[in-house]
A and B are shown apart, each in its own frame.
Chain A
Amino acid sequence: MTGISRRRRLAAVAVIALSAVAGAACSSSGGGSSDGGGAYVVWDPYPQFADDSEWVALLKRCGTSAGVTVERTGYDTTDLTNKALLAAQQGNSPDVLIVDNPVISTLAEAGALTTTDENKLDVSSMATNLLGAGQREGKTYGVPIGANTLALYYNKDLLTAAGVDPTAITDWAALNAALTTVKARGRKGITFSAIGTEEGSFQFLPWFWGSGAQLTGLDSPQAVAALTLWTDWLKQGHAPNSVINNTQTTSWQEFATGDYAFAENGTWQLANAEKLGFAYGTIAIPASAGGPAPAPTGGEFVSIPVQDKTDRYATSQKLVACLTSADNLLTTDTTLSYVAPVAAVQDRQAATDPKLKVWVEAVRAAKGRTGDNLGTKYPKISEALWTAVQSALSGGTSPQEALKAAQAAAATR
């Protein structure tokens, strides 16, 4: 009698324990977007914005106007790609996902994003060169929220002292001449980021494209010329050896010391540029033969991931439409120091802040990395490219050999 009751009690305890564990497991896997209610989940790559920032306030406002509450999480950019893929696999993607533009083609390839046919987003006002990164096989998978690109920041005080006119730097020969003059006066030339990640390829592309090279032929003579330009800068002491390990942030820190005449960096540094201890200016990155080189477009896309409950798309669409409406784009892109993806808003930005004019022009001339129908081939090409850049800059191989190996690696995979 006592034995049976004790057994029952123990069995009951075991059942309770098991169901508690199972319940916890269910509720955690069913989290995210699928637990219904008024909460819509938004993931963005802006962890720098806290809950009291203007960006989060805008998200909340858009939620309120769509009649729902918004649950927002900011992730590190590189982390977000993995998070988004895993969430898609587990079936708990966020309702709205804001990701770096080259990731869109990967997620679209995975079948994790809805097309504009399904989610009824209007993308007609967006600049076509920016929208290109979000399109494959005639379908559009997201809306650009803002664009950034690369240009050359210069130290105005230093160049004036050296007698260099930055506006005359329109081709590689003029840039090299300027670097030599600066070096002769005992100052440092240029800093950039050539790290062994996507950032390294991003920074090399303006020179690569500016030489006339194409991503489909990494070992072309033009490509070799571009890599030789960088390698020679290191050999001649125009650029510091640390560029091999520089992220764009560390490269900016080097420029901020005031020792460098030029720095290749992006639109997002504009706010920091105002805090520099010296006068600065920006010029477009010159192409080999003159004129501005096409720089790669950076910046994020707003997308609506695939959901089990397709009735959520209507509200998600309202949220995205609100985030990418002209007035809100202006606010968002001002906080992010991005250039808007819509021509009309770009003009308003340039009118309010004349310094943005260079950037608006650079964005209009820029090219998407995954464009030219490269799509998911781009990541392989890019990895081969940054490896070649690293290998040539660290003195392991000549630019020619490095790029030959890169082309072989990109072609086989």
Chain B
Amino acid sequence: MPATTRTSTTARDTGAAASAAPAGPPRSRARRPRRWAAWGFLTPVTVYLLAFYAYPLYRNVELSLREYTVRSFVQGGAPFAGLDNYRTVLADPTFWPTVTHTVVFTAASLAAQFTIGMALALFFHQHFPLSGTLRALILVPWLLPLIVSASTWSWLLNSDSGLVNAALGVVGIDPVNWLTSPGWSLTSVIIANIWIGIPFNLVVLYSGLQAIPTEVYEASALDGATGWQRFRSITFPLLRPVSAITLLLGLIYTLKVFDIIWIMTRGGPTGSSATLATWSYRLGFGNLLPEFGPGAAIGNLLIVLALIAGLIYIRIERRQHLR
């Protein structure tokens, strides 16, 4: 591990030297073509970003600021409505419950995924026989298409013929209406989402663990540190950058989770497991007569939430660097 780091830095040094050398004396002649070349390399990226990020985003903002009906969606000429769609969404009686569900869903999923992922990463870091095989098996939820895992979960949690209720019955617990009672539906989709998210946390944290130099652990072992002390004073602090990026990515993924909830409960019964993402979809596509404006408005709110999380991350990152 240290050897490779060294070679890569030397490579970078020579690369920098090579690129710096010709930029020296014949400046006036070389500058203009170089700029053209720079633009040539920039163009594909810029075109790509404009076509696939900027334009859709612009269209989404535009959708949310106009009063679209199916007719004006196809024929054009939707009147400008200002922030009316946002007002409609905010005034909707389902807005605050849905926001609460989104927050609970995201926070509970992240906390459980991260804790379990960390525990498993530490466990597999021990390198016992078959640990590689087991680690590969734990990755399966990540590799399965979401439609498969979500359908499997909805079979498992079925009120009448589900395996979970059958297992509870063996222990003598009354069946629970996991997906069909308003009190349980959110819990059920959170459980499924945690299961799906663990492998991602495991992989990232495990690779983070491998980057911690073993010398530090050896030194602490000489000083007589216990397992818990080693975790608290070495592993956790040294994993902080990796943990931060894991949590940030997890937050962005979880905020927009849609497929699992839609397949398992359709956000129901009566909106009890609806999040902003499923609500946005329901408005835009879940009805024979789509309401594109409010749907797009919710989508934009979600983007803003993710953006805020990203900015907080950058801020924390910068503060750590300054320190």
Contact = CB atoms under 8 A, between A and B. Distances in A.
Interface of A: 3, 6-7, 10-11, 13-14, 17-18, 21, 25, 78, 81-82, 85, 88-89, 102-103, 106-107, 109-112, 195-198, 240-242, 244-245, 254, 257, 376, 378-380, 382-383, 387, 390-391, 393-396
Contact of B181 (A111, A382, A394): A394
B269 A10 contact: no
Interface residues of B, number: 42
B36 A393 contact: no
Contact of B289 (A25, A78, A106, A393): A106
Contacts of B40: 10-11, 13-14, 17
Interface in B24-56: 29-30, 32-33, 36-37, 39-40, 43-44, 47, 51
B270 A394 contact: yes
Contact of B43 (A14, A78, A111, A390): A14
B161 A242 contact: yes
B29 A3 contact: yes
Contacts of B70: 85, 106-107, 109-110, 376
A112 B180 contact: no
14 contacts: A3-B29, A7-B32, A10-B40, A14-B36, A14-B43, A18-B47, A85-B290, A102-B288, A110-B71, A240-B160, A376-B70, A379-B289, A390-B270, A394-B180
A240 B289 contact: no
Give the interface SS of chain A, mostly helix, strand, loop or mixed.
helix
B64 interface: no
B93 to A, nearest CB: 10
Interface core residue of B37, B74, B154 (most chain A CB under 10 Å): B74
B180 A89 contact: no
Interface core residue of B30, B73, B160 (most chain A CB under 10 Å): B160
A378 B71 contact: no
B159 interface: yes
B177 A241 contact: yes
Nearest to A196: B268
Nearest to B26: A3
A21 B286 CA distance: 34
Contact of A197 (B44, B73, B158, B266): B266
B298 to A, nearest CB: 16
Contact of B159 (A110, A241, A378): A241
Contacts of A109: 69-71, 289
Given A109-B71, A196-B267, 20 more contacts: A82-B290, A85-B74, A102-B288, A103-B288, A106-B288, A107-B70, A110-B70, A111-B71, A241-B160, A241-B181, A242-B159, A242-B160, A242-B161, A244-B179, A245-B268, A257-B161, A376-B70, A383-B287, A394-B270, A396-B269
